[in-house]
Amino acid sequence: MFRRVALIGGGAAAATLLSELLDRPATQPLHLDWYTGDTGALARGVAYGTHSARHLLNVRAASMSMFAGKPRGFLDFAQRGDASIAGTDFLPRQLYGDYLEAEVNRALELARAHGHDVHLIAHAVDAVVPESDGVNVICGENSAHVDAAVLALGALPPQPLGGVAQAALDSGRYVVDPWRFLAAAQPDSQPRKVVLIGLGLTAVDVLLELSALWPNAEFTAVSRHGLFPEAHLSKASAPTDDGAELVEQMLEAPEVRSWTRLLRDTTARSTDWRTVVDGLRPHLSALWAELPPPERARFMRHARWAWERVRHRLPPQVEQAMHALEQSDRLHRLRGRMRDVELASEGLRLNLQPNGDGSAVLPADYVIQTVGLNTDARRTGHPLVRQLVTNGHVAPDPLGLGCDATADGHLRHKDGTWPHLFAIGSLLRGTLWESTAMPEIRVQARHLADILLAP
């Protein structure tokens, strides 16, 4: 058992692991140093720190428990406030943040009752140095030697896309971090033209919020295919089978082309393709593990966008809100590639290479980068991850999907595996593929708690 553990990160993944560790009967007292970072509200992170009731969970309430062993956790919490809530509902992310906070407070109470020592440190860790008998954690002037450390850092800070002029960045009109921008956005009648680069769930969040705060703004969203994510049905369909046969066939031929064909055939035979996609979810890490590196690269190039579109879906009421924006002519979608963004006298100018021939120029008061979560540890502005990569303590995933690790979260360096240094959540995408949402994070937290508390 690791007696002294550093938990690095203040978001939902760290909160879930903390709760798993403290929820269990204590065999020995545990000393936890919880470094919660210097941004965002405790446990909520970017996803659940939103104050907007327009921002909804994209997973049904019944599937959002923090605990793998208590599937009704979040639903029970929500129903205590409103008995009419159903498990199939898509609830506000803010409410989920309340749930995380309540569970963390409960866990901290339990810690006191069980004699554990939890030390909350509201600062970012600057450096982590793995050693033969543990890990050194450096935060400002302080250095602590712990038996084990867990990185729960979430996604890495977004980086500006290539082709954006420095003057455009300096103007403050090109937004690299949509979350930080939304957190500070105020009602404003000035903005008229807003261009979004990317059309996934992040773009949808931005559109929901800014269309309400900026009543005179017209939005143009640009993406390679010009398509929104697919939407959930208001009531989930029952799966026709458990998907075992499909998974077996996919494991027999681990290549993107045959997987695409198999999925196309299976969905064509199903009454609702969503049940086929959802049926694969528990098997995704096993499937990803079987995919050879060149096939993984092929998936990232050719199939990733299509998969993400069907896998990360919009709640039905959000889909309706997007249609209403389009019908009122406030939102236009364009298919193409951003070539560059430059500063112009009237604001910004985005030069677009539309699919097919020609070019187009989009003038904008603001251009907002909504390209989804960044997990590329190869070139990141995140100081701690940069330190770990630069010093060779961790090896970045070659496809930009976090860091090299084992399936149970042990981080790896180029010559081996660290026994005392772990990660949970987005940094494990290269190993597990599906590793950012709560249904996966709670399973990782449970396994990690088993490892950390093993006698």
Interacting residues with ligand FAD (CB under 6 A): 8-14, 35, 37, 39-40, 45-47, 57-59, 124-125, 152-155, 205, 384, 425-426, 436-438
- Please, what is the minimum distance in Å from the beta carbon of residue 128 to ligand FAD? 9
- Please, what is the minimum distance in Å from the beta carbon of residue 125 to ligand FAD? 4
Structure tokens at 181: 């921008």
335 strand-pairing partners: 223
- Please, what is the minimum distance in Å from the beta carbon of residue 425 to ligand FAD? 3
Q: Toward ligand FAD, which CB reaches closer, 274 or 349? A: 274
Q: Toward ligand FAD, which CB reaches closer, 124 or 263? A: 124
List C-alpha distances in Å: 52 to 205, 219, 311, 357. 10, 20, 24, 40
List C-alpha distances in Å: 441 to 339, 407, 409, 428, 432. 36, 13, 11, 10, 11
CB atoms near residue 64 (< 10 Å): 26
Q: Toward ligand FAD, which CB reaches closer, 350 or 405? A: 405
Q: Toward ligand FAD, which CB reaches closer, 153 or 196? A: 153
Give kind and range of the element (H or E) at residue 339: strand 331-344
- Please, what is the minimum distance in Å from the beta carbon of residue 377 to ligand FAD? 13
- Please, what is the minimum distance in Å from the beta carbon of residue 436 to ligand FAD? 5
Residue 415 half-sphere exposure toward CB, CA atoms < 13 A? 2
- No. of helices (H) and no. of strands (E), the chain: 17, 16
Q: Toward ligand FAD, which CB reaches closer, 127 or 343? A: 127
Note whether 127 and 384 are within 8 A (CB).
Answer: yes
373, burial (CB in 10 Å: exposed 0-12, middle 13-18, buried 19+):
middle
**Overall residue count recorded for the chain in this entry:** 455
- Please, what is the minimum distance in Å from the beta carbon of residue 361 to ligand FAD? 30
Note whether 217 and 191 are within 8 A (CB).
Answer: yes
Q: Toward ligand FAD, which CB reaches closer, 46 or 146? A: 46
